[in-house]
Structure 1
Amino acid sequence: MSSLSLKPAYEYPIPFLADLMTRSFEGYFVPIQITETALLTMLRRDGIDLTASRVLMKDDEPVGLAMIARRGWTCRLAAMGITSNARSSGMGTWTMEQLIAEAQARGEQDMLLEVIEQNTAGVKLYEKVGFTKIRRLVGYKLENPQVESDEELEEIDIRELARQVTYHGMKDLPWQLSGTTIMQHTPPSRAFRINDAYCLISNPEPTDVAISSVLVKTRSRGAGLSGVLLRALFAKFPGKIWHVSPIYPEEMGFIFEHVGMVREPLSQWQMTRTL
């Protein structure tokens, strides 16, 4: 019978963890290629704690990785993957039970995660260990929009946008959209505003640009300001492919649909478990 165990992720060098994470998501719904730089950025932005994160071991062989982010009394399973040779062996359930027990021992009160909705096996796993759905998260895409705008964008410090998101944003925003996460974005990402509408985008120099945050202050909602802001961005940076990752609450989808963005086929469930 196989021997299963977990080891602290901090015991392993960053290049090893990046390679293990890449291998753990091979053949997944969204295969990922994690470089050392990408992993370091993920650790910083998402508040991942390598002392609480775990390398999954099977017969003393590393076969997976569970990344745990922590803020206050809440933790988040930021990523969990198992290499193809160790899947379908019950390791996912066993690992989640251990991670939940460790979070309880640390005194945390809630555990969060996101899982691709179309990954029915993953959804069943998390429901099996006590997670419940909060809401559906969706993404969008728009290629080379032909837009003209006379609106003038004001570039602002990303920290200012983060403060506004913390004050005016939904109180249970997904982890990656929270003001605390936005605060960790740095150039070449850029933040802009028009009046009471704010937006954060990735480096606009490449062809593909991600929209990482959109916010309209409470007092100005319903006036179409988000559309004005996004169209001004499309005009300022023409010829781009604009991406919205599936981390936005479905109820925010109208923001992107109103400017012609097309919903992506993959969506996620935002899930929570009381500890």
Structure 2
Amino acid sequence: MPIDTQFEFHTALPYSSMQLAQILSHCFENYIVPFVIDGETFASRFAAEDLSLNHSIIVTHQQHPVALALIARRGLHSRVAALSIRPEMRGRGLGKALMQRIMTDAHTRGDRQLSLEVIVGNQAALALYQQAGLAITRTLLGFHAPLATPQTSVDLQEIDPLALAQRMTADGERGLPWLIAPESLYKLPASPRAFTLQQQAFALVIPGAQQCQLRMIYVPPALRGQGQAHRLLQALQTQFAPLALSSNVFVPDNVAPFFQHLGWREDPLRQFEMTIAL
């Protein structure tokens, strides 16, 4: 189906965080997972993801925004941080045209890799990305800790989240999902807190009103397999009780057995990470 010539593509650079939040929420209407975001949350969330406004795209139809693609960049790796189209504009070839524009732009600026995440079960989006050449590289999962609070007297030391990111980088920890990579951890919104268990295990959490979100648990390679991560998790559960401890849907599938062995319950929501080499 040919793309409607009345669609116009613009850079997102002139738009404010408030305007972009409104467009994003508007375009995600009737999405598989309810999604609404305000301007302040938009700015803090996507800053941690290294959003590039001048490479992000707004699509208008009769001067009204009807779609957008938010592009984050780190080096020569670009990521589609969000792609949404107004419900009444779907089925008109706009998604395909937008992906073609994203791919062309990435090639033009010399990127070597393009990636994104898609919710498992969103078949229309999955088909769109596969048609563009992206392939599933892994599944990302979420977990919830048992509600029973372990009793432990282990003392945790709080550290600067930047120190955790620097340690992971120095250890050569690469290939993590974008949202839990060291480049994201130290600038996450909502006041992240980092802890260490005698420099043998590290964690980053974001305490909230209803739960404590575990964003990263890290053990240096030479110290793995000694139970340090388990002890650290127990100490976190004790410290932040009665808040329930849970991990977002960013856990790579190869790490899932660790949480399953500890009796953590898997979240029903899953994501595919998809990538293409350029």
TM-score by length of 1: 0.94
User: What whole-Å deviation, never above 9, does each CA across 1:90-123 have from its counterpart, x for those lacking one?
Assistant: 2111100011101111111111111112111111
Read off the aligned partner of 1:5 and give its amino acid letter: E
Aligned residue for 1:10, secondary structure, equals coil
Paired position in structure 1 for 2:203: 199
Paired position in structure 1 for 2:108: 105
CA distance in 2, matches of 1:87, 1:208: 36
Paired position in structure 2 for 1:13: 16
Deviation at 1:183, TM superposition (A): 2.6
Paired position in structure 2 for 1:264: 267
Residue from 161, 171, 178 that aligns with 1:158: 161
Following TM superposition, where does structure 1 have runs of at least 4 consecutive aligned residues deviating by more than 6 angstroms?
none
Deviation at 1:143, TM superposition (A): 6.3
Deviation at 1:170, TM superposition (A): 4.5
Which runs of no fewer than 5 residues in structure 1 stay unpaired? none
Residue from 103, 128, 131 that aligns with 2:131: 128
Q: 1:113 to 1:186 in 2, by over 3 A?
A: closer
Give yes or no for the alignment of 1:32 onto 2:35.
yes
Deviation at 1:136, TM superposition (A): 0.8
Q: Do the aligned residues in 2 keep the contact of 1:230 with 1:259 (CA within 8 Å)?
A: no
Deviation at 1:73, TM superposition (A): 0.8
Q: Do the aligned residues in 2 keep the contact of 1:2 with 1:59 (CA within 8 Å)?
A: no
After superposition, the CA RMSD in angstroms is 1.7
Q: 1:169 to 1:38 in 2, by over 3 A?
A: farther
Deviation at 1:144, TM superposition (A): 3.7
Sequence identity, in percent? Answer: 29
Q: Do the aligned residues in 2 keep the contact of 1:231 with 1:259 (CA within 8 Å)?
A: no
Q: Do the aligned residues in 2 keep the contact of 1:137 with 1:269 (CA within 8 Å)?
A: yes
Q: Tell me the matched-pair count.
A: 274
Paired position in structure 2 for 1:74: 77
Read off the aligned partner of 1:197 and give its amino acid letter: A
Deviation at 1:226, TM superposition (A): 1.2
User: What whole-Å deviation, never above 9, does each CA across 1:223-265 have from its counterpart, x for those lacking one?
Assistant: 1211111111000111113231111101111332233321111
CA distance in 2, matches of 1:15, 1:117: 29
